[in-house]
Amino acid sequence: MDEEKIAGVMAQIGRPRKVPRPHRHFDGEYVSAPTGKVAYTAEGAGPVVLLVHGWDGSPRDLQDIATGLLRAGARVVALDLPGHGFSDGERIAPQDTAAAILAVAAKEGPFECVIAHSFGCPSTALALEGGLKTNALVFFAPPLRQIDQFRRLGGRLGLDADEIEELIRRQDIEGVVRFDLAEIAARRSEPLLIIHSDDDEMTPIAGARELSEAWPKAKFLPAEGLGHNLTMRDPTLVAAAVRYAVG
């Protein structure tokens, strides 16, 4: 077992990559959360929809959806998750991002809908457990179980099967590794639309199907050939998300 390799992977886990922004000046607002300042923007008037991006992502990933919502007469709120963009934070977990969502909700909520992508989905689910109020949800490419995400990450970073299991053992702190979105799903009553592509290697579609069965008021909309990110740019899927959010 390569201890140096395991230590190198552990040093990367929980630390988002700061994606360079096209500008340094931030025209939005800030709220306080346990990780520090959380940056967000709010635009438009009408039913309020919150956009939650994924790991190493930004609100720009959901820009087509934001544009559609504004045209539909919604108010669009989009945050930089902790450790991303203009928000504070270095090493983060889903509990930290859930706290950031709740901090924004305290100022801008309740929401007509929350639209989330990838890591933003379990973050939103944890925020729901913490009291987040919304009339509906749209999840793009939700990861079902964190332990599966750790295994996929370990494999991509060159760990063998034994090293991956050792990584999980060392990282199993405060239930982060064992977090299961399906367990939360059974307790939720909000309507949920799940959109997922069949060729998504980051968060396989099988997890989305299982989530749709576990969530009492879920609808599942599969896509083909759009990978992990392009579902949020496909005109048909964007229109479906907008209709579900405010239609």
Pick from 184, 199, 243: nearest CA to 219:
243
pLDDT, tens digit (0-9, with 9 covering 90-100), for 72-90: 999 999 999 999 999 998 8
What span, in angstroms and rounded, lies between the C-alpha atoms of 99 and 96?
5
Asked if residue 111 has pLDDT above 90, the reply is yes
pLDDT per residue as tens digits for the range 49-64: 999 999 989 999 999 9
Domains of the chain as residue ranges with CATH: 3-14+28-246 (3.40.50.1820)
Please give the radius of gyration of the chain, using alpha carbons only, rounded to the nearest integer.
17
**The whole model's pTM is what?**
0.89
Neighbour count for residue 206 (Cβ, 10 Å): 13
Which of 56-70, 157-171, 218-232 shows the lowest per-residue confidence on average (mean pLDDT)? 157-171
* Alpha-carbon distances of 184 from 125, 151, 198, 230, rounded to whole Å: 7, 21, 24, 27
What is the residue type of 168?
A: I
pLDDT digits (tens, 9 = 90+) for 22-37: 556 788 999 999 999 9
pLDDT of residue 160: 73
Q: Which whole number is the average pLDDT over 156-183? A: 70
Share of the chain above pLDDT 70, in %: 81
Instruction: Give residue 75's pLDDT.
Output: 98
**Alpha-carbon distance 103 to 30, whole Å?**
10
Q: Which of 127, 139, 134, 131 is nearest to 112 (CA)?
A: 134
Per-residue DSSP letter, 184? H
- Average pLDDT of span 15-22: 61
**Window from 17-26, 49-58, 95-104 with minimum mean pLDDT:** 17-26
pLDDT of residue 246: 96
Query: Which residue has better confidence, 15 or 43?
Result: 43
Tokens of 121: 């989905």
Please report the pLDDT score of residue 102 as a whole number.
Answer: 98
- What are the tokens at 11? 């040093």
Q: Is 88 within 8 Å of 38 (Cβ atoms)?
A: yes
Q: Does residue 211 surpass a pLDDT of 80?
A: yes
Q: Tell me, what's the pLDDT at 69?
A: 98
The H or E element containing residue 67 is helix 63-71
